[in-house]
Amino acid sequence: MSEGTKEPDGGEEKVVLKTHDGQEFTVDMATANQSGTLKNLLSEVGSSSNNPQVIPLPSSITSRVLGKVVEYCQRHAAGGGRRGGMQALEQFDEELVELDKDMLLDVTYAAAFLDVPRLLDLTSQAVADAIKNMSVEEVRHYFGVVSDFTEEEEKVIRSECPWAFE
Amino acid sequence: MHETHADDDSEASVEVPGLGAPPSASPIQLLPQDVLHNVLGRLTLCEVLACRPVCRTFRDALSSSPFLASLSPLRLLALRHPRAAASPHPSLHALDPSFRRWIRLPLSFLPFPSFSPVTASPSLLYLWVDAAPSSSASAVATFAKNHTKSLAVCNPLTGFHRLLPPLGSAWSRHGTVLAGPDGAVLVVTELATLSYAPGPDRWLKFPLSLPSKPRSPILMADSVFALCDVGTPWRSQWKLFSCRLGDLGGVRGWAPLEQQEWGNVFDIFKRPRLLAGAGGSRLLLIGGLRSSFAVDAPCSTVLILRLDLATMEWDDAGRMPPEMYRCFGASGPSVAAAGGNNKVKVFGGDGKVWFSGKRVKGKLAMWEEEEEVGKSGGGLWSWVEGIPGYPEAMYRGFVFDAGFTATP
């Protein structure tokens, strides 16, 4: 369970994020505001410490994935001013995306859904870096994609730009 | 963390994708297309195209025009292949300088019996074509009966092409073709500049008010630059002229670019040529460096000077290393002999210069500009091996940014 940060004026506003598998993450507003989606939502409905708003999330965002996003948002809500400055924050970012590929894609999905632009940047770049210079077969294998083209169709697509496959 | 099970979850949680995807879909196939674009848009253009056959989700996402247009173009050196159309698989031979590999862009979509690539603007390739009458009854065919050689523009990546209107006179074919922004084309001949814009879709002819035949004209940042020989029949004396595109027919027209402080900067060159420097605000002047001011003085190497158009100051941008220069020379160890020959072709643009020569078969010398101005004698010199095609040919070429940012 995630703890909130400092209390600015007594009772601090909290919000509860609830995953489809029933897990709840209680976060403070600064953390929630890292997400554009939550920020918009909360600006309309509001939340308080006594009666925190519960926000249910789609099933595609599992508690493990949400845990990663919350970790990112908490760290970035605190900013570079704490725990070792910007350098430590950069290192945190780097280590955060050292995930297996399915998790990386799930976090990418969650970052897009929750609108956390910099996290989306990090994970998207990590995925792109992973498949750089891979052959078609390697990309399929990496993502666990089964080709839905016939041999003939694939040949046609390749013939459109043969030089890209050399 | 406490796991409270959701009892009666009446709050409408937002349920998203995965609906239309196949049951065995991989997580990558479940991403919304804009998110997939965000991921794959970080790949190079070449990598993006190479990912198209992965699956339908990829093919569809990677065929979207706005997405393709957002990718950085692939910077290439296109060769002016003498027999580009003659091969059973007509193609544009080009060097990808960042990986030093030669690639072939298929041009078999062009319906012309012969063609020869001459110049390019971002995403667009211009070619002289033999527009022989074809069976397809069109204005093109009618026109082609009278004029067999014409300019065409195409995008080799999308396979679209278009013939430009006829140029009118035969001698225009001997002019230098320059391609500018927004589909503008110039043909600079000894006597006139022909200017084409896609809007009015016609050629305008402007007489050249220059003291002599323009040599090595280039188009950079909305202006045409050219060298003119203002010397005597016995001794060349070069002068730099420029004209803004909008001023071609205007009163201002062509004007010399000169400064008192420059002195005799052009006199140290034998057969100078102009090319665009990197970034669109610097000119490169390339030529044999005379070892003395004597008329027939041999050259000691190739010199590249750079003119910063903002400050109007020259700096020494690069000198070909002696051992490289010797390779371009005539037979025997005599370096002096090398200077006299004119069998070196200089071409390039945007901060890259290539040299081909009769004596350096199958390879090119390449110079890459260093961004830092004022760093004398800088730049990177290297050999590029493995020219495809005919190793005995003297190649020329031009910079071509292959991409999806423009269509003919």
A63–B1 C-beta distance less than 8 A: yes
pLDDT greater at residue B117 or residue B331: B117
Q: What is the largest CA-CA distance in chain B?
A: 99
pLDDT (tens digit, 9 = 90+) per residue, B321-341? 999 998 888 544 444 444 444
Average pLDDT taken over every residue of chain B: 83
A35 is a domain residue:
yes
* All residues at 6 or more sequence positions from B119 whose CB lies less than 8 Å from its CB, including other chains: B126, B177, B178, B179, B398
pLDDT at B352: 93
Phi, psi of A127, deg, nearest 5: -65, -45
CA pair distance B274, B216, nearest whole angstrom: 6
Q: Over 60: is that where the pLDDT of B8 sits?
A: no
| Interface with A, mutate which of B10, B16, B28 (most A CBs under 10 A) | B28
A3 pLDDT more than 60: no
What would the mean pLDDT of A54-66 be, rounded to a whole number? 91
Contacts (Cβ under 8 Å, ≥6 apart) of B232 = none
Domain that holds residue B304: 74-402
B229 and B270 fall within a common domain = yes
Q: CB-hemisphere CA count at 13 Å for B354? A: 27
> A73 and A41, same structural domain?
yes
- Per the CB < 8 A criterion, the answer to whether B245 and B222 are in contact is yes
Does one domain contain both A116 and A56? yes
Whether residues B203 and B264 share a domain: the answer is yes
CA dist list (Å): B270 to B112, B210, B290:
39, 21, 6
Q: How far is A86 from chain B (nearest CA, A)?
A: 25
**Picking from A20-34, A92-106, B132-146, B250-264, which range would have the lowest pLDDT averaged per residue?**
B132-146
Exposed, middle or buried, B49 (CB in 10 Å: 0-12/13-18/19+)?
buried
Q: Examine the domain organization and report whether A101 and A139 are in the same domain.
A: no
Instruction: Residue A100: give the domain boundaries.
Output: 14-132
Task: Locate the chain B residue with the closest alpha carbon to A147.
Answer: B55
Residue A6 lies in a domain: no
Residue of A nearest to B35 (CA): A112
Q: Is residue A107 assigned to a domain?
A: yes
Shared domain check, B79 and B61: no
pLDDT in tens, B196-250: 999 889 999 998 888 899 999 999 988 999 999 998 888 888 999 999 998 988 8
* B307, B282 contact by CB (below 8 A): yes
pLDDT at B107: 92
Q: Identify the CATH number of the domain in which residue B375 sits.
A: 2.120.10.80
pLDDT tens digit string along B295-304? 677 788 899 9
In chain A, the residue whose alpha carbon lies closest to the alpha carbon of B48 is A164
Residue in A closest to B25 by C-alpha: A145
Do residue B35 and residue B118 come from a single domain?
A: no
User: Which of A24, A59, A128 comes nearest B42 by C-beta?
Assistant: A128
Instruction: Give the ranges where B155-301 is alpha helix by DSSP (H).
Output: none
Q: Which residues of A touch B15 (CB under 8 A)?
A: 58-59
**What pLDDT does residue A8 have?**
47
Q: What is the pTM of this model?
A: 0.84
For chain B, the domain total comes to: 2
Backbone angles phi, psi at B372, to 5 degrees: -70, 110
Distance of CA A149 to the CA centre of its chain: 31
Determine whether the interchain pair B15/A124 forms a contact, defined as Cβ–Cβ distance below 8 Å: no
Cβ contacts of A127 on chain B, cutoff 8 Å? 28, 39
Chain A residue with minimum CA distance to B10: A56
- Looking at B51, B70, B89, which one is the last position of a domain? B70
Same structural domain for residues B337 and B191? yes
Q: With contact defined as beta carbons under 8 Å apart, do A66 and A37 qualify? A: no
Domain count across chain A: 2
Residue with tokens 């350096």: B360
Q: How confident is the model at residue B84, as a pLDDT?
A: 60
Contacts 24+ apart (CB under 8 A), A94-99: A96/A68, A96/A71, A96/A72, A96/A122, A97/A122, A97/A123, A97/A125, A97/A126, A99/A68, A99/A126
Q: What is the pLDDT of residue B335?
A: 42
Alpha-carbon distance values, A41 to A12, A34, A53, B245 (Å): 18, 12, 10, 53
Rounded Cα distance, B127 and B78, in Å: 12
Q: How close does chain B come to A124, measured CA to CA in Å?
A: 5
pLDDT of residue B90: 86
The answer to whether residue A1 sits within a structural domain is: no
pLDDT at B153 exceeding the cut of 50: yes
* Contact: B51, A131; criterion CB under 8 Å: yes
- Domain presence at residue A7: no
- Where among B19, B38, B70 does a domain terminate? B70
Residues B32 and B151 reside in one and the same domain:
no
What is the percent of chain B where pLDDT is above 90? 49
For B247-292, how does the pLDDT look when each residue is reduced to its tens digit (9 = 90+)?
988 878 899 998 888 888 888 888 899 999 988 899 999 998 887 7
Query: For residue A163, is it within any domain?
Result: yes
Is B376 buried (19+), middle (13-18) or exposed (0-12) by CB count in 10 A? exposed
Could you report the per-residue pLDDT of B73-97, keeping only the tens digit for each? 999 999 987 666 667 778 899 999 9
ipTM score here?
Answer: 0.87
For residues B172 and B196, membership in a common domain is answered with: yes
Beta-carbon separation of A128 and B104 below 8 A: no
Contact B13 A57 (CB under 8 A): yes
